[in-house]
């Protein structure tokens, strides 16, 4: 169990700074409130907290020394990449240091023969693809923040993107990692090979949200860029028909590179923002991207057009050139900022469901939307069942954030109820701790803690994130009651 009692006082904070100055330059140690302010939140800006200190090391040796120091003094360490995370995984605490990996931005090696790149953790996702583009290669996972987010953060969150259905998540595209444990020990797992002896620590590190180790080097797999890509854009007067189209495509044995759905509100917002040519009267649109060789793509495009028409599409267009393909995507890619113009704030959810439950889940969200008086725009990675309902609200109205959080929590719990999960790709972080109590029982949570302790016995790495304490779960007011039984009958209720 996490059991942190160390709180930094002014005097031991200054002692800490003195010790850190032995390790790194003063300019890499931020301690004044105005310097700390930019680090007070990640992209989930509803939660904010000033950190005790922010450290910006630029060598692995410095990181090792920092970890040894923090370990000795029992100071919590929160790793941070670009701060684009959407679940508060990098949310500071005042008794902790933020360990920024931003200066680790070098591409160490590109191996053109073996199709791998070895990079430091602060290298931006898109920078990898840019660096290998001349070789006809790319790094496949493309989270929407790919211009800014770092590969270290991608590993920590096991980031997805719109091309997951065909190309997988970060875990499917990383071959090797070097990471430091809390005592500064370097662990190397994987490399340029397709497997590694022993336990699959590589898989375990993905999505571990900075709780197990500090990633200092990442080796990724590079894939050949597809010869061509084309998109089918189909409009529907009913979301259920769009869902049927998705089912038809998968049943026909086609694995699209991307398969995205947007609902009426999202379509209208995106069209107003990006002028992508979307039919704004549609209840749902589907974007189906096929990539590969010319011959393969053209054969599949014809099939997909037929399948969406069979499902009842009111309109169906296929991109004929690259400019048109990009225009079809422009609306989807701008969906979040576009929806952001509809209300002062929006709250992005991230549940995954079995696809065949889509219609009922959307209907329930619609009903709650009316009850709460909070509009919802739905953007959906339809191929892999990952939903992003965007709840529109106004944080300046008293009580509206709390209402939004409650609504969001119910959506996530609904995802679990229909056989899905509370987070597809954004992580648990600080945000979804309560829903973790719904997703997992006490035995699993306890197992997570003992697994964590195998890496970090004192619980100093990103404490309080990703896995809720059993105590928290037992105190949680909003618990799901299945068949009259509380999820944790073995726990005392307070």
Partner 1 sequence: MADIDLTNRLQKAVCAAHASGQPLAITGSGSKHWYGRTSSGKPLDVSGHRGILNYQPTELVLTARAGTPLSAIAEALDEHRQRLGFDPPYFGDGATLGGTIACGLSGPRRPYAGSARDFVLGCRIINGSGEIMRFGGEVMKNVAGFDVARLMAGSLGTLGVLLDVSLKVLPHQLAEHTVRLQANYCEAIAIMNRWAGTPLPITAMAADGQHTYFRICATPDDAQITADKVGGDFFEEGLSFWKDLREHQLPFFDDERPLWRLSVPAATPHPLLSGTADADWFIGWGGAQRWLKSDMPAKTIFQAMRASVGHATMFRGGDRSGEAFAPLSEPLLALHRRLKQAFDPAGILNPGRMYESL
State yes or no: residue 472 binds partner 1 (CB under 8 A): no
Rounded CA separation 339/208 (Å): 30
Strands 53-55 and 97-100 come out as parallel
Question: CB-based contacts of 195: which residues, under 8 Å, 6+ apart?
Answer: none
Segment near partner 1 (CB under 8 A); pick from 11-19, 48-56, 57-65, 249-257: 249-257
The least CB distance from residue 258 to partner 1, in Å, is 13
Counting contacts by CB under 8 A, is residue 192 touching partner 1? yes
Site for partner 1 in 311-370 (CB under 8 A): 352-356
Task: Determine, following the binding rule CB under 8 A, whether residue 300 of this chain makes contact with partner 1.
Answer: yes
In 278-384, the DSSP E strands lie at 284-292, 315-318, 345-348, 376-381
Q: Which is nearer to partner 1, 254 or 343 (CB)?
A: 254
- C-beta closer to partner 1: residue 168 or 279: 168
Distance CA 72, CA 123 (A): 30
- Give residues 111-140 in contact with partner 1 (rule: CB under 8 A): 111-116, 135-137
Query: Parallel, antiparallel, or unpaired for β 174-180 and 137-138?
Result: unpaired
Selected binder of partner 1 within 233, 428, 430, 470 (CB under 8 A): 428
Per DSSP, what are the bridge partners of residue 127?
Answer: none
Nearer to partner 1 by Cβ, of 103 and 172: the residue is: 172
Cβ 223 to partner 1 shortest distance, Å: 8
Which of 151, 44, 29, 12 lies closest to 395 in space, CA to CA?
44
Tell me: does residue 439 bind partner 1 (CB under 8 A): yes
Which window, 12-20, 55-63, 93-101, 152-160, contacts partner 1 (CB under 8 A)? Answer: 152-160
Give the list of residues 6+ apart from residue 428 with CB closer than 8 angstroms, or none: 87, 89, 209, 422, 435, 436, 465, 466, 467
Helix or strand run (H / E) with residue 206: none
371 phi, psi to nearest 5 deg: -60, -45
For partner 1, what does the binding mask look like between residues 252 and 291, x meaning CB under 8 A?
A: -xxx------------------------------------
Examine residue 72 and tell whether it contacts partner 1 (CB under 8 A).
Answer: no
Tell me the DSSP string of 354-405. Answer: -GGGHHHHHHHHHHHHHHHT--EEEEEETTTTEEEEEEEE-TTSTTHHHHHH
Question: Using CB under 8 A, which of the segments 43-51, 94-102, 189-197, 368-376 binds partner 1?
Answer: 189-197
**C-beta closer to partner 1: residue 164 or 276:** 164
Q: Which stretch binds partner 1 (CB under 8 A): 2-10, 60-68, 315-323, 443-451?
A: 443-451
Query: Residue 2 or 250: which CB sits closer to partner 1?
Result: 250
CB of 9 to partner 1, least distance (A): 33
Angle at 368 between CA 364 and CA 374, to 5 degrees: 135
Query: Among 3, 11, 33, 198, which residue interacts with partner 1 (rule: CB under 8 A)?
Result: 198
Q: State the minimum distance, in angstroms, from the CB of residue 351 to partner 1.
A: 9
CB of 143 to partner 1, least distance (A): 12
Binding-site member from 62, 208, 462, 474 for partner 1 (CB under 8 A):
208
Q: In what order do the strands lie in the sheet with 284-292?
A: 315-318, 228-236, 284-292, 258-263, 376-381, 386-393, 345-348
């Amino acid at each position: 169990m996490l059991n942190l009692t160390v709180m930094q006082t002014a005097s031991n904070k200054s002692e800490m700074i003195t010790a850190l100055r032995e390790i790194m330059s003063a300019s890499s140690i931020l301690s004044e409130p105005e310097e700390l302010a930019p680090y007070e939140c990640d992209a989930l800006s509803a939660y904010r907290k000033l950190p005790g200190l922010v450290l910006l090391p630029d060598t692995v040796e410095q990181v090792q020394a920092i970890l040894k120091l923090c370990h000795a003094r029992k100071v919590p360490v929160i790793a941070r990449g670009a701060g684009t995370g959407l679940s508060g995984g990098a949310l500071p605490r005042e008794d902790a240091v933020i360990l920024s990996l931003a200066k680790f931005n070098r591409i160490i090696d590109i191996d053109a023969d073996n199709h791998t790149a070895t990079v430091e953790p602060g290298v931006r996702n898109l920078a990898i693809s840019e660096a290998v583009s001349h070789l006809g290669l790319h790094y496949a996972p493309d989270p929407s923040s790919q211009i800014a987010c770092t590969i270290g953060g991608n590993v920590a969150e096991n980031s997805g993107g719109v091309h997951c259905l065909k190309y997988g998540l970060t875990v499917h595209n990383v071959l090797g990692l070097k990471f430091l444990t809390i005592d500064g020990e370097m662990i190397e797992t994987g490399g340029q090979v397709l497997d590694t002896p022993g336990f699959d620590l590589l898989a375990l590190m993905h999505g571990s949200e900075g709780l197990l180790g500090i990633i200092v080097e990442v080796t990724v797999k590079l894939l050949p860029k597809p010869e061509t890509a084309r998109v089918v854009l189909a409009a529907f007067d009913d979301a259920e028909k769009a869902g049927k189209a998705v089912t038809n495509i998968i049943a026909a044995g086609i694995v699209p590179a991307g398969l995205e759905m947007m609902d009426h509100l999202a379509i209208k917002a995106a069209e107003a923002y990006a002028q992508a040519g979307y039919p704004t009267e549609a209840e749902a649109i589907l974007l189906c991207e096929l990539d590969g060789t010319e011959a393969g793509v053209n054969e599949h495009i014809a099939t997909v057009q037929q399948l969406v028409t069979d499902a009842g599409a009111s309109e169906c267009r296929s991109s004929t050139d690259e400019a048109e393909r990009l225009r079809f995507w422009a609306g989807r890619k701008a969906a979040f900022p576009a929806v952001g113009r509809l209300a002062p704030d929006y709250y992005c959810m991230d549940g995954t469901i079995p696809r065949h439950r889509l219609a009922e889940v959307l209907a329930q969200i619609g009903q709650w939307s009316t009850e709460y008086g909070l509009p919802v725009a739905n953007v959906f990675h339809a191929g892999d069942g990952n939903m992003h309902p965007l709840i529109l609200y106004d944080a300046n109205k008293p009580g509206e954030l709390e209402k939004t959080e409650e609504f969001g929590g119910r959506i996530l719990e609904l995802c679990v109820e229909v056989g899905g999960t509370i987070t597809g790709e954004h992580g648990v972080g600080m945000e979804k701790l309560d829903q973790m109590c719904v997703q997992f029982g006490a035995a699993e949570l306890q197992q997570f803690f003992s697994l964590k302790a195998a890496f970090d016995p004192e619980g100093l790495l990103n404490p309080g994130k990703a896995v809720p304490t059993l105590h928290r779960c037992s105190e949680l007011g909003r618990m799901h009651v299945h068949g009259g039984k509380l999820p944790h009958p073995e726990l005392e209720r307070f």
